[in-house]
Amino acid sequence: MSEAGPLVSLAGVERLYGEGGGAVRALAGVDLDIASGSFVAIMGPSGSGKSTAMNIIGCLDRPTRGTYRFAGVDVTGLDRDQRARLRRSYLGFVFQGYNLLARTTALENVELPLIYRGLPRGQRRQRAAEAIRLVGLEGREHHTPAQLSGGQQQRVAIARAIVTEPLLLLADEPTGNLDTARSHEIMDLLTGLNRERGLTVVMVTHEPDMAAYASRSIRFVDGHVAGDETRRAT
Amino acid sequence: MLWETVKLAMLSIRRNVLRSVLTLLGIVIGVAAVIAMVTIGSGTSQKVQDDLSKLGSNMLIVRPGQNTFGPPTVSEARSFKERDVAILRSQLSGVRAMAPSASKTTTVVFGALNDQATVTGSDTGFFTVQDWTFAAGRPFGEAEVRAGAAVCVIGETIRSTLFGGIDPIGQRLRTGGFDCQVVGLLEAKGQSAFGTDQDNTVIMPLRTFQRRLAGSTRIANIYISVANREDVPRVQADTERILRELRRVAPGAEDNFTVRDMTQIASTLAATSTVMTALLGAVAAVSLLVGGIGIMNIMLVSVTERTREIGIRLAIGALGRQVLTQFLVEAIVLALFGGVIGIAVGLGLAGMAAFGMAIPFAADPRIVALAFVFSGLIGVIFGFFPARRAARLDPIEALRHE
């Protein structure tokens, strides 16, 4: 892991769906560097390729062409299990629909990535409880998603994403299902994690209000990076 | 690591009770059917085997006429005489015991109680050929047989219905028109293979029976107990040859008597019940297979229904093989759990059937163990395909699944 280089580095990344003449180009040659510790908002109309880019950055998907270096390491050619190992060690995910396991307590949801990492139970419990405290849900460890509000569920999802102490947090429309007040709370939480813990955050959103929290805003159009502005230094 | 995955699977089963119960229902029914069928079947076989041994070993029954199935009665056809018995006795070899007999159903009375019973007249060899043992008292002796003494031996049913708590030995039992002194009580045998109560019987010397009850010297049956099993066919053939001469059956004409090998009949019955058991077991095994397919079906539905959950697990870093293990373990645990319930239900059904049909409860631990192992195997076989499907899901597609 080189400290000096960017955390995420896409070079000439293309992603094609389908084959031959009917193939759809979701990404048409993207060059993008994201520095460690930054808070990046990715915007753009639907079909612009922002979700595809997000999936590739999150190692859920692989580029058809081009290279992806994560923390200086070429991860383009990694297989399924290697990418899963990468995700559980260095990446955290927050989704629009929270994606918590139903009928499973907040604590157990947050513990899940640590189970897959093979951590012993005591350590898991401790780290999960700490992550829940960090997102301000102390006392609700044993509530199931059905007993929590949308904002609280998203906090649990954020706790689950950061419990592994990842290098990069990927948030896909994290406020898409929340009202304005709740949305701002979640954005404050993400900003706090970014500022205080130096967590790199990449967030897809279509709401300019939410994108305003980010230090850098990237705009996708037709599979290209069409705009890239840094608002203030971090 | 594996243990954690197993715990995840258990958790998932507990969180979805209804789904889990529906999944294992097929296995429960299948295993219960197999266990019940096989247990009831082997109980029936055992019952037939027991009856076979009570019937007396290596026994031939000689009867007049051709229609000879059923309980012994005085036949319409020309019966045997003492002379026939005497000649058979002197000419047959390899015979352990021989007993001529005649029977009649009549009212037996003791005190204020009476009952219908089969009264048989025979000689001392009767107890040997029919493998009777004595619960109390003694058989009648040679002298009593020769003299036609008014003595008798009674079966357990007679004792319980007529004597109740009284010791029957030495009591006088009224049979037909005369009194006989009870000298012996037979050990209970229960029902015969033909469903008649073998203990509802009074046995007395043949001459006593002929003079006092039947009023004729006819002999209805001759029981021959052969010493060695392998001699039975020869003794049977010899008996037929001797009787044809004695009864002057013309060459080529049909016998006017029958020599039946009872052991063979009982063996045939036992074999039939074994075949039935196998057949029912096979039918039940098919239902177990259907149960397995049921598990696969529900697991497949479950994979589809839980696509999103699988997507989440994969996204946060579960390896394909961890997801595979979880689903496989879920299937195996469900199948084993269903197997255990099925075994309990099957044994319960077999127990009730054993009670209702008066057959022994023949639970075979090997069959139980086999059913358990087999249900686990069903979990592996029918759980693998859905589990592999779950493990191979694309996390992006799975997360997008509604």
ipTM: 0.89
User: Searching chain B, which residue's CA lies closest to the CA of residue A98?
Assistant: B312
Residue B97 has pLDDT above 60, yes or no: yes
Alpha helical stretches, state H, chain A: 50-57, 80-90, 106-117, 121-134, 150-162, 180-197, 208-211
Q: Which of A61, A84, A103 sits opposite B314 (nearest CB)?
A: A84
> Residues B309, A101: contact at Cβ < 8 Å?
yes
Distance CA A157, CA A99 (A): 7
The verdict on domain A8-98+166-230 having CATH code 3.40.50.300 is yes
Name the nearest CA neighbour of B19 among B344, B377, B330.
B330
Average pLDDT over residues B322-335: 87
Residue type, B157: T
> Are the CB atoms for B320 and B65 separated by under 8 Å?
no
pLDDT of residue B69: 53
Distance CA(B338)–CA(B315), nearest Å, equals 32
Distance of alpha carbon B121 from alpha carbon B145, whole angstroms:
10
Distance CA B318, CA A112 (A): 9
Interface residue of A54, A60, A62, A160 to substitute, partner B, most B CBs within 10 Å:
A60
Find the radius of gyration of the CA atoms of chain B.
33
Tell me what the mean pLDDT of segment B71-80 comes to: 59
Place of tokens 């039940």: B284
Residue B67's pLDDT is: 57
Taking the CA of residue A233 and the nearest CA in chain B, the distance in Å comes to 31
Tokens 């045997």 correspond to B80
Contact A116 B319 (CB under 8 A): yes
Note whether A231 and A214 are within 8 A (CB).
yes
Position B55 pLDDT exceeds 80: no
Compute the average pLDDT of residues B118-142: 90
More confident residue, B202 or B287: B202
Answer yes or no: is pLDDT of A180 > 60. yes
- Cβ distance of A85 and B314 shorter than 8 Å: no
CA distance B378 to chain A (A): 27
Q: What would the pLDDT profile of A8-49 be if each residue is shown by its tens digit?
A: 999 999 999 888 778 888 999 999 999 999 999 999 998 899
| B140 touches B205 (CB < 8 A) | yes
**pLDDT band of B56, cuts 50, 70, 90:** low
Q: What residues contact residue A90 under an 8 Å CB cut-off, 6+ apart?
A: A70, A71, A166, A167, A168
Cβ separation A85–B8 shorter than 8 A:
no
Q: What is the reported pLDDT for A110? A: 95
Q: Which of A99, A116, A164 sits opposite B322 (nearest CB)?
A: A116
If you search the block for the tokens 């203030």, which residue do you land on? A232
Q: In 3D, which of B71, B323, B345 has the Cα closest to residue B196? A: B71
Closest CA to B261 of B235, B280, B282: B235
Residue B72: its pLDDT value, please?
47
* Residues sharing a CB contact under 8 Å with residue B255, sequence separation 6 or more, in sequence order: B66, B240, B243, B244, B249
Q: Is B148 a residue whose pLDDT tops 80? A: yes
CB-based contact A60 B395, cutoff 8 Å: yes
Where are the extended beta strands (E) located within B239-297?
Answer: 257-261
**Are B121 and B106 within 8 A, CB to CB?**
no
Domains of chain A, residue spans: 8-98+166-230
Q: Does A117 touch chain B (CB under 8 A)?
A: yes
Contact A116 B317 (CB under 8 A): yes
In angstroms, rounded to a whole number, what is the distance separating the alpha carbons of residues A62 and A15?
Answer: 8
Helix, coil or strand: residue B130: coil
- Which residue in the set A81, A118, A160 is minimally distant from B316, CB to CB? A160
Summarize pLDDT for A100-145 with one digit per residue, the tens.
988 889 999 999 999 988 889 999 999 999 999 999 999 999 999 9
A1 pLDDT tier (thresholds 50, 70, 90): very low
Q: What is the model's pLDDT at position B75?
A: 45
For chain A, say whether B11 makes contact (Cβ under 8 Å): yes
Residue from B312, B329, B401, B402 to probe the interface with A (highest A Cβ count within 10 Å): B312
